[in-house]
Structure 1
Amino acid sequence: MARAKSDTRARAQAVAKELFLQQGVRRTSLQDIADRLGITKPALYYHFSSRDELVRSIVQPLIEDGDAFVAAAEARPDADPRAVLEGYFDFQFAHREVVSLLIGELVALADLGLVGRVLDWRTRLSALLVGEDPPLSAATRATIALGGLADCVLVFADEPVEEVRAAAVDAALDTLGR
């Protein structure tokens, strides 16, 4: 029985993610998700008490992995910028569908308190790349490097990932002046 519950939960998350990416979070109802799954809305409520809970369950792995990545990067003394940027690219790539959802549904996800966490990671990673309290020029370069690297994951999704990774990390390092 627990396996069936887990399978339905995972299928609901997959269907919801697909619909959220197609229609948007606010335009996708729990009824839409239940219909696509071929279950009743009350059956879906058995797994998720609300659409917000379902959204959080989809975004939670990104949050957990992001927190772990940033903490691990901060724990390395004298973190190598290339290693930080490569790790950030790999993290973004592993979660590219959810990152795409975050970008497309920024307002809806901000209302759930999920966007602030992502911005916090950027601030902390910037400090690793350009130090605490950098001049505006350095802080701007770090923001462009991290944002551009993340964008490359989405913009060049059909290109070979290793080529995109190498080009994006090199461009980010160039942006940082390294």
Structure 2
Amino acid sequence: MGGTMDGTRQQRRRGNTRQRIQDVALELFAEQGYEKTSLREIAERLDVTKAALYYHFKTKEEILVSIFEDLSRPIEDLIAWGRQQPHNLETKQEIVRRYSEALAGAAPLFRFMQENQATIRELSIGEMFKSRTLGLRDILIDPEADLVDQVRCVSAMFTLHAGMIVFQDLEGDPEKKREAVLEVATDLVAQAHRGSRNS
């Protein structure tokens, strides 16, 4: 029994180390850019040896991919859920609401991605993010809707993206800003739904 407890404690400690590496790496990537950050600097900020860091991650890209996979898991789950739902207004509005929450939970990563677009395009997470964005697009738009209404649905997604970047520096309660952005995104989906019903 003691061995199991020690094993669990050790596993938890390992999990915490992985999380700490991700947090510190993302901090450094945001502070000085992905290209200018070395594994040595990440190890120094963590106060561990480079060998200890290598135990968890061999490259900076491995760290970044692991951060992306962990923080974007709710988006994958949302896409899977959305594909099983009826293609109606309530579903689309719920997708927009949940996507807003997922983005808020991963805000540091998505801000980093926005500020380092050239780097992201060259790394595997650029393709992973594009794939998730297209997955969301496909469950939001109605293929039979006219082009304007399809654009409205896609614009709802990008309104949420823009809200994270554009409004972060403005004065005011972050939750109120998020709610305002969500309201606009939800309205776009509702307009698209009304338009497709009237056509």
- TM-score, structure 2 as length reference: 0.77
| Residue correspondences, number | 178
One-letter code aligned to 1:67: E
* Partner residue in 2 for 1:163: 176
- Alignment counterpart, residue 138 of structure 2, candidates 97, 104, 127: 127
Q: CA deviation at 1:147?
A: 0.6
Closer, same or farther: CA 83–4 of 1 in aligned 2, 3 Å: closer
Does residue 53 in structure 1 map to residue 62 in structure 2? yes
- Equivalents in 2 of 1:135, 1:124: separation in Å? 20
- Equivalents in 1 of 2:139, 2:42: separation in Å? 41
* Partner residue in 2 for 1:94: 105
Conserved 8 A contact 1:82-1:169: no
- Equivalents in 1 of 2:132, 2:83: separation in Å? 11
Q: CA deviation at 1:96?
A: 0.8
What stretches of structure 1 of length at least 5 have no aligned partner?
none
Q: CA deviation at 1:134?
A: 4.6
- Alignment counterpart, residue 83 of structure 1, candidates 94, 97, 105: 94
* Partner residue in 2 for 1:175: 188
Conserved 8 A contact 2:79-2:139: no
What stretches of structure 2 of length at least 5 have no aligned partner?
1-9, 193-199
- Alignment counterpart, residue 138 of structure 1, candidates 146, 149, 156: 149
- Root mean square deviation, CA, Å: 2.3
- Equivalents in 1 of 2:78, 2:134: separation in Å? 13
One-letter code aligned to 2:49: T
Three-state SS of the structure 1 residue aligned to 2:37 is coil
Conserved 8 A contact 2:140-2:153: yes
Q: CA deviation at 1:133?
A: 6.1
- Equivalents in 2 of 1:175, 1:5: separation in Å? 44
* Partner residue in 2 for 1:42: 51
Does residue 11 in structure 1 map to residue 24 in structure 2? no
Q: CA deviation at 1:115?
A: 2.2
Conserved 8 A contact 1:13-1:54: yes
- Equivalents in 1 of 2:176, 2:186: separation in Å? 15
Q: CA deviation at 1:62?
A: 2.6
Q: CA deviation at 1:2?
A: 3.6
One-letter code aligned to 2:166: V
Conserved 8 A contact 1:86-1:165: no
* Partner residue in 2 for 1:109: 120
One-letter code aligned to 1:46: Y
Three-state SS of the structure 1 residue aligned to 2:124 is coil
Identity across aligned pairs (percent)?
Answer: 27
User: Is 132-141 or 85-94 further displaced after alignment?
Assistant: 132-141
- Equivalents in 2 of 1:24, 1:39: separation in Å? 21
Larger Rg computed on CA atoms: 2
After TM superposition, the structure 1 = structure 2 runs for residues 58-77 of structure 1, keeping only pairs within 5 Å, are 58-77=67-86
Conserved 8 A contact 1:30-1:51: yes
Runs of 4+, deviation exceeding 4 Å: none
